[in-house]
A and B are shown apart, each in its own frame.
Chain A
Amino acid sequence: MKQNDAVKNKHLKVKTKRLNRSKAGDVGIDIMLILLAAFMVLPMVYVIGNSFKSFDELFVFPPRFIPLNPTTANYLDLFTVLSTSWVPISRYLFNTVFVTVVGGIAHIFISSLAAYALCKFNFPGKNVMFQTVVLSLMFSATVTQIPSFLIIAKLGILDTPWSLILPAIQSSLGLYLMKQFMEQLIHDSLLEAARIDGAGEIRIFGQIVMPLVKPAWLTLMILTIQSLWNSTGAGYIFSEEIKMLPTALSQITATGIARAGVSAAITVIMMLVPILTFVFSQSQMIETMATSGMKD
């Protein structure tokens, strides 16, 4: 059915492409897009360039975008610094990966369960629950940081990875997107049929609902990666051996100008993970976002 739609759209697009489109307008839009894209991309090109510059070239005047003599010295340096540090870097890397993976998987599983309940069951209280979630989309974590800190301290999970994982699991954006996606994708008839066949609710969820919403899993994973991969844990985590990768890396950067190239290398490495995950899941993410609309 989906394929049919795609074919139909393609067919229509060929016809409609010419409607109301002037050549000059097309060119104008291309130019605007190129200018804006340059604004977006140049800073990143610059930092990537810097990470491959030798020490002398970092400080030439005028500064260059692209290194003349690219070198991997900064990356090699980074690994030397890291392998000789007090707590080995693999530890920090493990901490960040642990928090991101556990947080991401738990977020997907727990919010899918709740999303499924919210969109396919009719129980008292569900409207209030969903409206609260929608309202909370507006309240960024920065605003609730003080009371959140008090609560996390009271729960006794301060200075443990859970102080980062548990709040990430209940991200309201994830639940919202998952619920909207399920609403569109999972038809009641399918669930009815499964129930008639004698499938239990847990089995229906695990074997019918979850496989169908795979694109939304990826979206939720990306969103979790965005918040947790770059999370420094500042304010919540103090012990050296459970510190996050960005904190450890910023300690290296803090040693000043001698490490300018190395810190560029760090930035590039930290950027790679979220960007690569997006590259591989872009179409699924767009598919999820298509249902993200908010109706009154």
Chain B
Amino acid sequence: MKSTRYRFAKTVLAGTVLSAAAGMANASALSGDLVMINWLGGAQGEMMQKLEDDFVAKNPDVNFRNIVPQATGDARGGIRQVILGGEQADLLINTWPAFRQELVDADLLLPVDDVWQENGLDEVLSGAWRDLSVIDGSNYGVTYTFGDRSGIWYRTDTLEKAGISAEPETWDEFKATFAPLLENDITPMSVPAKVWAHAEWFESLLIRVAGVETATKLANHEIPWTDDAVKTALRKWQELLQANCCDEPNTMLATDWDNSVDAALKTGDSAYVLMGMWLNTRANQEYGETPGEDYTIMQFPALGMGHDDTSMVDAKELNLLSTVKNKEAATAFMVYLLSADATAIMTEYGLASPSANADTSLYDPVIAKSVEEVSNAKSLQFVLGDLLPGDLGGEYRVQLQKFLQDPSDETIDAVTAALEKVAADAYP
């Protein structure tokens, strides 16, 4: 009897202590609404939902809410509508450096230097990722994923069918693969020029022809669009078109990015496609293909013009909006996205994380290869189209459509002159 009472007293005491501890823990636990402007769709949208669910499971008093802007293609217009419409959000998913600058200029973003310091993010993200989000000495973002945009995607059985046993490494080797592919009724390159994705080839060519510094200067309009570097990059693309790389121009202009990716990575009607890392998510999650076996990625062929150690990258970051109401939960979510648990979810969806907490052993062969390419590159360039002001970005894609219709030297002169005319008025 005594021992039973003793056990009971111990249980009560232990329960009281645990309750008190839980109470203290609750006092410091996150709670309240956390609102994020989230424009991600498809498998990436699913991934973000899974990340949010995991965050909420760890912080059950947080009510996560997404504001989904109306968006097709470039989501910036929809995000601006949401912000101007008076929505009170805490966080924004952003992938456009030019848009970050626009938000900072309009006092709509808060610096996150304190988040960085308080959470020791210097240990988790390298200085290069921090510098990516720095404007006038203040840091405005936490990058949670990145992708290799100079990686060319292909199905392994497509190249096998054409008798191509090794990945082409040089420009000439790359062009030499076109003939066997065409003989097997395979279009060598799938270029979706309906809206935006045709700019990818030009951008990788530009950094390989003239280097990252030139691309940065062009993005800031410190050199004109009529510069020789731009014309040389277009002439390199002209070489591909003259080598029958692609469908006829009007077919390219009628093709959207998703159909193009289907042609290269699903049906094998085309061989190569150049786009972002979300193709890994699409091929893996939506087509059910095995990365590294059914499809893989190779680095852009070397041009031998002195800039082959460069790569184009994209990245997604979280920004803290000045309308933030739940800064504690917002910053906690920023930090959570760099945690081992979050990076494991991203890996599951085929995306790479810049976080030191990421377990690289979980990476599939395609992510591992793309991360290696980015790590080996001596200099990186952010996607040019995302660095341009809105109206120049739109004109840039239209002028490249004109180039695809008639890739002659005269068109190159006309297209670059037209872009320079718009650029002259596009910068504040």
Q: Do A and B bind each other?
A: no
